[in-house]
């Protein structure tokens, strides 16, 4: 028998307060701006818990938002557990490196490539365990996926998903007004 094992504790912690779970309103980290103006986000070996604000769109545990090309940015070795909204969201971001992260009992799509415009991101060696459905975010989160993938022009390799309420990997290739995003 084989099993996935992921360490959840870290020395650096970002967390909501004691009321976060009851109010569904925890901490969140959003990195936004453009690389041309100096945005470089390096998140490494941090423990996130009691994070996310599912009733507010875009308030996820950690979120790279509309930053364009960010080849010097990364999310490496983090843990996210017992939280209300997503492990990591990538929205309007390209060339982000995401590796060796682990999530446990996080609501909503856990590793979330948001719009289908995101390309050349590398997600490898990540682990999502017990992804939980939620009914106060997007409708698709009621059929939760550990990895929600919207564009085939990203690199997914050696990732693991176990025990999700619905799906491990969900490829939702989105259509654009000018045609499919994968052409």
* Residue 1 pLDDT class (50, 70, 90 cuts): confident
Tens digits of residue pLDDT in 39-80: 999 999 999 999 999 999 999 999 999 999 999 999 999 999
Q: What's residue 172's pLDDT?
A: 83
* Whether pLDDT at 182 is above 50: no
Phi/psi at 88 (5° precision): -150, 135
Cα 138 from chain centroid? Answer: 14
Name the β-bridge partners of 132. 107
* Whether pLDDT at 175 is above 80: no
End-to-end CA distance of the chain: 41
Q: What's residue 174's pLDDT?
A: 66
Q: Spell out the domain ranges in the chain.
A: 12-174
Give pTM, 2 decimals.
0.92
DSSP 20: H
* Whether pLDDT at 3 is above 90: no
Rounded to 5°, angle at Cα 61 from 10 and 127? 60
Q: What's residue 113's pLDDT?
A: 96
Tens digits of residue pLDDT in 76-105: 999 999 999 999 999 999 999 999 999 999
């Amino acid at each position: 028998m084989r099993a996935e094992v992921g360490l959840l504790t870290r020395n650096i912690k970002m967390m909501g307060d004691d009321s976060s779970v009851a109010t569904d309103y925890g901490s969140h980290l959003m990195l936004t701006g453009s690389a041309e103006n100096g945005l470089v986000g390096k998140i490494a070996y941090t423990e996130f818990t009691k994070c996310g604000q599912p009733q507010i769109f875009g308030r996820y545990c950690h979120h790279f938002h509309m930053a364009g090309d960010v080849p010097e940015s990364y999310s490496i070795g983090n843990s996210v557990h017992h939280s209300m909204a997503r492990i990591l969201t990538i929205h309007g971001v390209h060339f982000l490196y995401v590796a060796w992260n682990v999530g446990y009992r996080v609501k909503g799509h856990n590793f979330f490539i948001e719009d289908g415009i995101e390309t050349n991101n590398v997600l490898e060696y990540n682990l999502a365990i017990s992804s939980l459905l939620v009914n106060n975010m997007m409708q698709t989160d009621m059929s939760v996926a550990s990895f929600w993938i919207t564009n085939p022009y990203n690199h997914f390799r050696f990732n693991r998903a176990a025990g999700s309420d619905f799906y491990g990997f969900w490829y939702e290739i989105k259509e654009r007004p000018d045609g499919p995003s994968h052409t």
